[in-house]
Chain A
Amino acid sequence: MKIVVGQGSCGIAAGAGKIYDLIENANPSCELTITGCIGMCFVEPIVDIYDDEGKLKRLVRVKDSDAEKIVEAVEKKDLSIVDYLEISDEDNSFLTQQTRVALRHCGIINPEKIEDYIADDGYQAIEKVLKTMTPEDVIEEIKISGLAGRGGAGFPTWFKWNAAKQSTGDKKYLICNADEGDPGAFMDRAVIEGDPHNLIEGMLIGAYAIGASEAVVYVRAEYPLAILRLENAIKEAKEKGYLGNNILGSSFSCEMRIKAGAGAFVCGEETALIESLEGQRGMPRLKPPFPAQSGYWHKPSNINNVETFANVPWILLNGGNAFSAMGTEDSKGTKVFALTGKIKRGGLVEIPMGKTLRDVIFNIGGGIRDNAEFKAVQMGGPSGGCIPMSLIDTVIDYKKLGATGAIMGSGGMVVMDSSTCMVGMAKFFLDFTAKESCGKCIHCRLGTKRMLEVLERIVSGKGESGDIELLEELCVSIKDGALCGLGQTAPNPVLTTIKYFRDEYEAHINDKKCPAKECIDMVSYSISDNCKGCTLCARNCPVNAISGKVKEKHIIDTDVCIKCGKCYESCKFGAVVVE
């Protein structure tokens, strides 16, 4: 028997840390261990119990008080004691509908034990590579696989590797971009926290292919657990001879280290990342020259995203053809998505390319929370765009998603229901990019700021006719003129919301109404005759704006009301009216 407590950041946030302690303190006679993010964030904390036959019983939404029962069940070898915690078939279908390549060990192995990784095919790919393949063979295999950069741009990985390999230089660098900054994205974090050796192995293969002797993982400092586990993994790998000089007895040597980023979104842009690595202000460099020619310390460098590397060992073990067998004509393999927002089942989803958005959102994700109406999904974070219900059957594939105005992106999928104001959503993302602009180029620094001001004007009820056209003009100019990807893609949320929800913009501007009733400057709260005088709203009001006697109709003082919505949420009679 074995107890495994999910200890990804998501699980810990839900209380799994304490549960682990409680179980440990109960001193169970079986093995107690941890694992990384299982991907089912919506049912955390999760405790997996494997019986002696190795059969898994997954317990979900575990509370502190359940720890005792879990230990009891294990000690009595009667798992029916915790039947009440077992995951439902429906919830479990979240996982069973997935195909896991990059996440294949996540939620299964103990990320802090290299032995677990090794026991599950770990480091077999690098062994195969070093013993049987030339760097050219590796690049060829990656080419066959059709693997493309998972950070967002979707550039063929083999091409970058090949360019870096072809570049002459006494020293080359391999860099992993783990500066996952999109709001709502956590794929990379899950990989590092749940399967750090997979990343190390993928990077080793990449370093071998391009001829790099030094590898750096650029992780955002906001991922302390990921950094901790990766540090531990690097240490373990060194001890086992997977890192360092003459790896596995070959002539290939490679050192690896971590660089914690200081939290600038733009440092996810590869040239800004290099500047930051060099200790400079994180500002993008002009391309060309591309990093493959002149990158870190002006040496040939190759930069890939975490998820990209995470696919590499699998490809080398199973063959490029096995990978390219999944997916569509244009996009091969699988893709991990971080499903969040107003979704019933949020978490990490890895599916083969070619599935539809409906598959992910409605079949795997279970549709919209509280059975509300689906409105749109934001793909690719602040660089991406929204996709409305009418395009829910769009196939997940770089080209098809691009055609909608959104992008594949790194995998953030933020689901919105009818209570989300699309203008407000566009404003949210633009506020993000405007703040995260490095300030270097005019279009991004000032263009996003001026766009943000127009959007702020619109959501506060001061929109003017011509504002939509002004936004569109700025969007086109910024896309054309901005220096780096951050700026060039910053208008996407605005462009797509205008494209699919122009009527909402017009309602804000012409009628001074927010159809989603989210823009507080355009809504007012009042209490209708449905009021029973239960006083609940008055007691919940944080600013004492509601008055009224028991069993009499209550009144909201609109001068005092801060439109927080507490009354609306608390009223059991639907008496609070938002207009």
Chain B
Amino acid sequence: MLHLVIDGINIEAKEGSTILEAATANGIEIPTLCYDKRVELYGACGLCVVEAEGIPKLLRACATKATDGMVINTKTPRVVRSRKVALELLLTDHDGDCKAPCSLACPAGTDCQGYVGMIANGEYKEAIKLIKDKIPMPASIGRVCPHPCEKACRRQNVEEPISIAWLKSFAADMDLKSDDVFKPEVAEATGKKVAVIGGGPGGLTTAYYLRIMGHDVTVYDAMPNMGGMLRYGIPQYRLPKEVVEREVQEIASIGVKLQNNVRIGKDITLEELRNNNAAVVVAIGAWKSSSMRAKGEELDGVLGGIDFLRNSVMNLPLNMGKKVAVVGGGNTAMDACRTAVRQGAEEVYVIYRRTRSEMPADDVEIEEAIEEGVEFKFLTNPDEIIGENGKVKAVRLQKMELGEPDASGRRSPVAIEGAFEEIELDTVIMAIGQYANLDGFEDLELTRKRTIAADESTFRTSLEGVFAVGDATNKGADIAISAIGEGKRAADVIDSYLNGEIVGYKKPYVVERVVSPEEYEAKEKAYRPHMPHLSPEERKHNFEEIVKGYSAEDAKKEASRCLECGCHDFYECKLIKLANEYDVNPARFGDNKHQRRSEQTHPYIERNPDKCILCGLCVRVCEEVMGITALGLIGRGFDTIVQPEFDKPLQSTECISCGQCVTLCPTGALREIQPVTKPVPAKEKETVTTCSFCSAGCQMKLKSVGNTILRAVPEGECSLLCADGRFGFGERQSVERKLGAKVNGETVSFDEAAKAINEAFSKYDASDIGVAISESLTNEEAEAAKKYAEEVLKTSNIFTYSTRKQGPRAAMGLGFSPKKHNEKFGEVALSSNANAKGLEKLGIEKSTDVFKAMFLVGEELPEGAKAEFTVKIGLFNDDADIFVPQSTFAETNGTVISADGKTLAIRKAVAPACETDTLTFIEKLMK
């Protein structure tokens, strides 16, 4: 044993171990991107460098033998600097999208690609889980969000963006409708109290996530109901109050306390809240309309857009008359004019000083307003509101023209001298901006814009323990999802504050790719499915919700259009993890990156040299472990690239699709082509089980999300899988699989099928019944089938056909490294079925006999054979009198016996795609 000191800790290490091995064995992590114990030392990445006392050079921990008495430091400034520069240099030539542009564009960082992918795969629960990790009110947000995500969506290079927002409300509606509504896990109570002032999206979000972290949170709101602007600022036809209310309930259901009709400064003071809580969050929003600074604003009949909308929601008298003008070009202006239409106004105008193309409102809102009869007065600005007896009578409009672009890039309107127009009006609604009512918050320091000054990273205000988010802070009013994003980030910061050490939010580093529209030229066009919605006539006189939402079928179809921009290996990528750990800034070294991605046709493996960091693991594992040289290093210096020889397609090389290269790749440069509708980067559930493609008994890890298996990777000491094990799980979730039980072609329940089977067999003499049990079944399934045959069918005609002709590549010695194969299995003869040994042990022998009535458990009749009556439990071929779907090895728990006689566990990774698993069904038969 060697004795050495690493980072001040005395450790022991085996004689001959390297510094890296010594550290790892003692739980000290030293980063590396090119080391793997199965291949020879390489030393390319240089991340494992450490300093040893008395040695002037940095040492590569992977290559340097530990010696007795060595004093090693793994985190000195020199070491950290060296690693950081190495990572930065790598990133200067690492091109891709860590996260999809939709997700990056979302102010709340919602994993849009993730949940869209989940929806495409039919994993609605997983979708809502992902969404609710960032947004507590997705049904509401999905309906009203101006969706910056869709503006960033690259699908628009093909035809139109994915309707990400609608898919969000689809997933949320599905969840709310289900009898198993998503509930986040709430941490144990911390005993820390937090007051949140304001029950709008920002406040509710902060409250929700703080509650999840176990804090005691109360939301105080001045209005009679929670929801803030979602409830009082957005009209019913866009967002029904019931939806908001339902989501507020969900927030309350995890223990967030809600108190309405509490106004700060009147009912309670900020100071009191500070005294009674460990932290206070100010999320009061912007509830005052900005002035137009036109003459006559004080007249009766001039009011703010949000005031008008609020009064409408609260059923307060509007007294707006018949002629209404709304001033402004944003979504609030559209909400106001369309509400005015619905509230019975006969003439509704929108006064906007620029043209339609400069309007900040969503296009669909403008279009629908026009459809509903709203008249747009573009290039006009209220010059004076003319009154009569203190009441609005008309407005005089100054005509404008567009001049030079201003700071925002929009062309600024310039008055045309002497050009005026007058329209008769009863009401003028100002919808040109909002600001916060800060009464009761006088103690807080403000910005120059007269908003609450809150630190961009910690959300701290000038008062200790008081944080602020949303429209009332810093740059002022913004869209709801921005407030939600701040709320979630603030919750994390406040949690750290409550735990004693405040940690500010830092935007994670990600690599982003610049794309050109040409990339998408060849892509087949597929437009969005039609969204059912009310016609102008159906909608203009009521407040019924216009958009009806997608059906599950349409939602899946729509979600399947996703181009999967974000890296599929984001959650496995070692590079991005280290990049963030070391706080990299690669931009200073320039960003002249290779663009060498090319079209590929390998059935299982996709290579993307743009993401390759040349760690050489793929090349080395292919050559050293598998004894194949499908990949090699080509070129020199900066232009070095990993390629098959002569740049042949990978499948034209010696490649056997073992996928070892993919497993070892530390980035997304090599990835599995996943046999699912929509491969999606996600945090996967891992289930260790035994591969069932042959009797080798290889251990594997199934990686799944919900009930979708995304990948199968080798596990354990041997760490090898052949192409079947690595990529063959696709057949388990293939669309070809038959999932319904059938009696004489009619679909029935499993119970009905069981009854029919027992009835049918009872008509046969026991000696006429044969039971064929497949060697691909688990011990438990086979045993149950045998027991059923013996005890219920009373037959002794129990055997196996083992009809599976296409043996797995491992057993055949094809497609599997012959070298490794022999090393592992020696002379053990492999069977092409997983559990031949298990059946042998159960005394089930091979046979080709066919009886009058056959019960085929995972089996097929021998070729050409016919039986009078057949019952089949199977996967694909439902050609039988009675057919019951079989569960797969990924859907069941049990054991198999490998060729070398080991009993190995089969573990359930996903729920059976059919009604129940095979074992449960056989047990059903026994009853």
A residues with a Cβ closer than 8 A to B are 264, 281, 283, 286-288, 434-443, 445-450, 453-454, 470, 473-474, 477, 480-483
Contact = CB atoms under 8 A, between A and B. Distances in A.
A446 B636 contact: no
Interface in B46-76: 46, 49, 57-58, 60, 62-65
A445 B637 contact: yes
A286 B63 CA distance: 7
B902 interface: no
B82 A481 contact: yes
Given A286-B60, A441-B44, A481-B49, A453 B640 contact: no
Given A450-B89, A477-B82, A483 B43 contact: yes
B636 A477 contact: no
B592 interface: yes
Contact of A473 (B46, B85, B590): B85
A477 B46 CA distance: 11
A469 to B, nearest CB: 10
Given A286-B60, A470-B588, A480-B58, A442 B45 contact: yes
13 contacts: A436-B636, A438-B636, A439-B633, A439-B635, A440-B614, A446-B589, A447-B89, A453-B592, A470-B588, A477-B81, A481-B82, A481-B85, A481-B86
Among all A-B residue pairs, the 9 with the closest Cβ atoms: A439-B640, A446-B89, A477-B85, A437-B637, A286-B43, A449-B638, A286-B63, A450-B589, A481-B46
B183 to A, nearest CB: 46
Interface in B567-581: none
A264 B633 CA distance: 15
Contacts of B92: 446, 450
A483 B46 contact: yes
Interface string B504-543: 0000000000000000000000000000000000000000
Nearest to A446: B89
B640 A445 contact: yes
Given A440-B616, A441-B45, A481-B86, A450 B590 contact: yes
B18 to A, nearest CB: 10
A403 to B, nearest CB: 16
A403 B616 CA distance: 37
Contacts of B46: 441-443, 481-483
Nearest to A266: B636
Contact of A440 (B44, B49, B588, B589): B44
Interface string B84-101: 011001101100000000
A434 B613 CA distance: 17
Given A453-B590, A483-B44, A435 B637 contact: yes
A474 B85 contact: yes
Interface in B615-649: 616, 632-633, 635-640
A208 to B, nearest CB: 31
Contacts of B378: none
Given A442-B89, A481-B86, A448 B637 contact: yes
A436 B81 CA distance: 26
Nearest to A454: B590
Interface string B336-378: 0000000000000000000000000000000000000000000
Q: Which of B81, B89, B639 has the most CB of A within 10 A?
A: B89
Interface of B: 41-46, 49, 57-58, 60, 62-65, 78, 81-82, 85-86, 89-90, 92-93, 588-590, 592, 613-614, 616, 632-633, 635-640
Contacts of A438: 636-637, 640
Nearest to A287: B63
Contacts of B89: 442-443, 446-447, 450
Contacts of B632: 281
Tell me if A's interface is mostly helix, strand, loop or mixed. helix
Contacts of A437: 636-638
B65 A288 contact: yes
A510 B54 CA distance: 42
Given A443-B85, A477-B81, 17 more contacts: A283-B633, A286-B41, A288-B65, A434-B637, A437-B637, A439-B638, A439-B640, A440-B614, A441-B44, A443-B46, A443-B86, A446-B89, A446-B93, A446-B589, A447-B89, A453-B590, A481-B85
A437 B81 CA distance: 22
A435 B45 contact: no
A435 B58 CA distance: 25
A101 B42 CA distance: 40
A481 B51 CA distance: 12
A291 to B, nearest CB: 15
B291 to A, nearest CB: 47
Contacts of A440: 42, 44, 614, 616, 640
Contacts of B86: 442-443, 477, 481
A281 B637 contact: no
Most central of B58, B64, B65, B86 by chain A CB within 10 Å: B86
Contacts of A477: 81-82, 85-86
A436 B590 CA distance: 21
Contacts of B90: 442, 446
A477 B588 CA distance: 14
A286 B42 contact: yes
Given A441-B43, A446-B89, A446-B92, A434 B58 contact: no
Contacts of A445: 614, 637-638, 640
Contacts of A435: 636-637
Interface centre among A264, A443, A454, A481 (most CB of B within 10 A): A481
Contacts of A482: 46
A378 B640 CA distance: 29
Contacts of B65: 288
Contacts of A442: 44-46, 86, 89-90, 613-614
Contacts of A439: 614, 633, 635-640
A482 B43 CA distance: 10
Nearest to B87: A442
Nearest to B89: A446
B636 A264 contact: yes
Nearest to A435: B637
Nearest to A483: B43
Contact of A480 (B82, B613, B616, B638): B82
A438 B44 CA distance: 11
Nearest to B90: A442
A108 to B, nearest CB: 40
A434 B633 CA distance: 17
Nearest to B637: A437
A41 B197 CA distance: 89
